[in-house]
Amino acid sequence: MPVKKGTVYLVGAGPGDPGLFTLKGAACLSRADAVVYDHLISALILDHAPATAEKIYAGKTGSKHHLEQEDINRLLVELAARGKTVVRLKGGDPYMLGRGGEEAAALKAAGILFEVVPGVTSAVAVPAYAGIPVTQRGISSSLTILTGHEDPTKRSSHIRWDILAKSGGTLVILMGMQNLPLITALLLKHGMKPGTPAAIIRDGTLPTQFTIAGTLKNIAKKAGEAGMTAPAVIVIGSVVDMRRDLRWFDLFPLFGKRVLVTRAGSQAGSLERLLIERGAQSVRFSSIEIRPMRGNRELDRGISDLKNYDWVAFTSVNGVEAFFRRMGELDMDSRALGGLKIGAIGPMTARALIERGITADYVPRVHTGEGFISGLTKKAVRGKRFLLPRADIADDEITAGLKKLGATVDEIAVYHTARPRSNRARLKDLLLPGNLDIITFTSSSTVTNLLAGLDSAEIGHIGAKIACIGPKTAATARKAGLKVHVLAKEQTMAGLIEAMQDYFRKEA
């Protein structure tokens, strides 16, 4: 039987900030067999695709094309002809100067089903992130978006520069950096006022965003002096002056800060998203790896014996995931916890339980082992039996505290923490002064593992600020020879972000 042809989704990935990716785009990626993606697509967007999906880079940068457009068209047809669900992931919007129409035409000619998922275009989003509304009542009621890629002096140009120069509206020029001097000269020649406000935004919506503002007469010179390069969006019109009052993105306390994320790769995304939302540039270097415990007979006995416990206390999201994963493998679910009291250290752990249909009976106000025990002093736990599923390297603070309160504790390691294989040369380069602004540590093991293999001199030369999620992590960092600059008041990812913001506000 012939293979049924697949479907191709032409999906706009937006201008760069992964938070601007659409829900429909994410849904398409989640069921993709193959992803053909452009240059500068965020790894956080690609994370929506299944791990098993084939990922094919088809980026273009200036004159350098990893794949020519004809090759991309052919590749999409070939993948779909093999029955694959294909996502063609394009920067911005597929049909906004993105050659998506050519890809759609090729698919149509080959009899391949396709859908178009529009994306947020950089023509609107990038000026907005720079504090420039592309239209404004009483200032500009029209918007013209055009490519600056073609030579504006060639006779065959379809762009009517003479009309644009007199339009009175906002001009947004994409892919125009190379021809900027010619473009401004042409607009001046056709009568646009030399004092017309103009701006160039490089790396728009990203933590590396950089904006210069001037006038039509001097913007090309300013761009040269500032070393402006693509990718950049050029905005010309009176609305540019509104940036003085409407700037917001580049005023974030963490804007442009390079932050090292040392969490396990599977968990780094939550912290990275919070950093990106606040304008920081996340740099991932996982110093810890979470692995399931194989052949864990002790856990199996604990799960089988749940009816004989009074409490199950979870100390981390990892513990919740490992515990419920094994319950599922044993053909059990949350109903097995009926009648038990459930404890959780911290809101993230509590949320992980809620996602599995369990509302924790007890979450301490202070999200530490000490805080957990302190809150239990008001509860009748003497003589109660606790099951404590946790990491293999966890200390005995909670166990000792529960026993002191008169409880019986069965502590079971449900996941293994290890130092992953990593590029130590890359790490040493990252830790050189000036390469990072801040290093985040979310557990003592992230500290120990990151610094393993570094000598005291190398540790002493680390110039980045150190941010720790809690006092135990901070104590480990100090013991290793690091100065802790930031300590979260609330031991959560959000608390860590807030502490970093407070630190840089005070430093400003």
Q: Any catalytic annotation for residue 175?
A: yes
CA distance 398 to 316: 13
Length of the chain: 508
CA dihedral 28, 31, 32, 37 (to 10 degrees): 40
Looking only at the bridges linking them, the beta strands covering 281-284 and 385-391 are unpaired
CA dihedral 22, 27, 31, 34 (to 10 degrees): -10
Which letter does DSSP use for residue 99 in this model?
Answer: S
Beta carbons of 41 and 13 less than 8 angstroms apart: yes
Query: What tokens does 253 get?
Result: 């306390």
Closest CA to 349 of 312, 379, 303, 315: 315
Catalytic residue (choose from 33, 38, 93, 203) = 38
Single-letter amino acid, residue 494: A
Catalytic residue (choose from 33, 93, 175, 348) = 175
| Count of C-beta atoms within a 10 Å radius of residue 483 | 10
Q: Any catalytic annotation for residue 192?
A: no
CA distance 27 to 404: 50
Q: Any catalytic annotation for residue 245?
A: no
Single-letter amino acid, residue 481: G
Query: What tokens does 387 get?
Result: 């099951």
Beta carbons of 259 and 285 less than 8 angstroms apart: no
Single-letter amino acid, residue 169: G
| Count of C-beta atoms within a 10 Å radius of residue 359 | 10
- Residue-wise DSSP of 476-505: HHHHTTPPP-EE-SSSSHHHHHHHHHHHHH
Catalytic residue (choose from 55, 60, 217, 341) = 60
Please give the positions annotated as active site: 38, 60, 175
